[in-house]
Amino acid sequence: MGEHPSPGPAVAACAEAERIEELEPEAEERPPAEDHWKVLFDQFDPGNTGFISTGKFRSLLDSHSAKLDPHKREVLLALADSHANGQICYQDFVNLMSNKRSNSFRQAILQGNRRLCSKALLEEKGLNLSQRLIRHVAYETLPREIDRKWYYDSYTCCPPPWFMITVTLLEVAFFLYNGVSLGQFVLQVTHPRYLKNSLVYHPQLRAQAWRYLTYIFMHAGIEHLGLNVVLQLLVGVPLEMVHGATRIGLVYVAGVVAGSLAVSVADMTAPVVGSSGGVYALVSAHLANIVMNWSGMKCQFKLLRMAVALICMSMEFGRAVWLRFHPSAYPPCPHPSFVAHLGGVAVGITLGVVVLRNYEQRLQDQSLWWIFVAMYTVFVLFAVFWNIFAYTLLDLKLPPPP
């Protein structure tokens, strides 16, 4: 996305510290990774206590202030001041110099944030188009100014938001292929051959496990595909730019699987098509994050944006409900279910909210994350056993396979 015209208002990269020659061993003798930071730290901690006193640390920074990013200097001092005994520990030193985030680091920054008196990111002038886009994404998705500055300074567009773009392109490609082969682009689901596709989830074929995921590549028609694509590009791509493909992919796939499993439990005779489970997981998580952090979200027209997203979701959900109860083109099999939407929402306001709230922190350290993972796992296991035994026990009459 290009280089910033001047050092950003947040924490600079570790390369700045590497230019302080007096603090470094010679390049050919430099130890690897954290051993390097340990050597530097031990120079000012001869007693090997694991801490540097605030006074010694201030003297160190003052003596090299001309060669150190002033924002990094301020944050280091904020870290030191955040400790009750006026010392900075080795791990905080490593986290800052290696550009890592941790819970202790976040707390230290928040407690010492009064020292970070640089102007708000919105007041930065002279930004090019790509920099304004990054700033816009930061304000759209992150509620804390320190996180927005950190993201703005560190984002490199490498890797790009490939997950959402790839999924969207695949969905469009499959739709176009089906449109040509069926000779129908509007309400494709009414075509007699539509359910014969091996990607659609069908209750009689529920033993074919891939169908619980691949149904996202089959849409009921261009009106169905259009709304899903718009939502996942407008919401999913910015979220992936901030939180990365791993986190956003996890929420999306969890919503997709929860959607098909929810249909298999609550609407047992209906097939499932469309990516609404994953899309609704992302959108509902994003909207819930905005509501929970309303005062901190500084995006323009946030109320209008929420209204537009809710209107689009309501239109798509209403279309799905109408279609479910519309006379089927191939009785006795009904049209696709709308319950997958609800499964996606449930994932979004549980797993999704935790993922979006904990920007650049390890989810493994979050107790609420583990609670929701346990709940999701229990639901999946319940749905699997339900699919194995419930249909026989209930003696349910299923529509014939396509």
CATH of residue 237's domain is: 1.20.1540.10
What is the CATH classification number for the domain harbouring 82? 1.10.238.10
Q: The pTM is what?
A: 0.74
One domain for residues 86 and 188? no
One domain for residues 270 and 382? yes
Each residue's pLDDT expressed in tens, for the chain with a length of 402 residues? 444 444 343 333 333 333 333 333 333 444 444 566 677 777 777 777 777 777 776 776 666 555 555 556 666 666 556 555 667 777 766 765 555 555 444 544 444 443 444 556 776 777 888 888 888 888 888 888 878 888 887 788 888 899 999 999 999 999 999 999 999 999 888 888 898 999 999 999 999 999 999 999 999 999 899 999 999 999 999 999 999 999 999 999 999 999 999 999 999 999 999 999 999 999 999 999 888 888 778 777 778 888 888 898 998 899 899 999 988 777 778 889 999 999 999 999 999 999 888 776 777 777 888 999 999 999 999 999 999 999 888 888 888 888
One domain for residues 88 and 166? no
Q: State both tokens at 59.
A: 């003297």
Question: Is 107 within the bounds of a domain?
Answer: no
One domain for residues 203 and 316? yes
Q: Distance (Å, rounded) from C-alpha 360 to C-alpha 291?
A: 20
Please give the residue range of the domain that contains residue 92: 45-99
One domain for residues 69 and 168? no
One domain for residues 90 and 209? no
Cβ 339 vs Cβ 267: under 8 Å: yes
One domain for residues 87 and 192? no
One domain for residues 290 and 375? yes
Helix (H) or strand (E) holding 88: strand 87-89
Number of structural domains in the chain:
2
Question: Is 271 within the bounds of a domain?
Answer: yes
Question: Is 368 within the bounds of a domain?
Answer: yes
Question: Is 21 within the bounds of a domain?
Answer: no
Please compute, for residue 349, the number of CA atoms within 13 A of its CA located in the half-sphere on the CB side. 10
One domain for residues 91 and 164? no
Q: Distance (Å, rounded) from C-alpha 108 to C-alpha 102?
A: 10
Give the residue among 82, 97, 90 at the shortest CA–CA distance from 11. 97
Question: Is 27 within the bounds of a domain?
Answer: no
Distances (CA, A) of 155 to 50, 133, 385: 32, 11, 44
Q: Distance (Å, rounded) from C-alpha 155 to C-alpha 253?
A: 25
One domain for residues 194 and 265? yes
Q: State both tokens at 23.
A: 């603090």
Question: Is 237 within the bounds of a domain?
Answer: yes
How many CB atoms neighbour CB 171 within 10 A?
A: 20
Question: Is 341 within the bounds of a domain?
Answer: yes
- DSSP tag of 294: T
One domain for residues 166 and 304? yes
Cβ 195 vs Cβ 272: under 8 Å: no
Active centre residues (catalytic): 276, 341
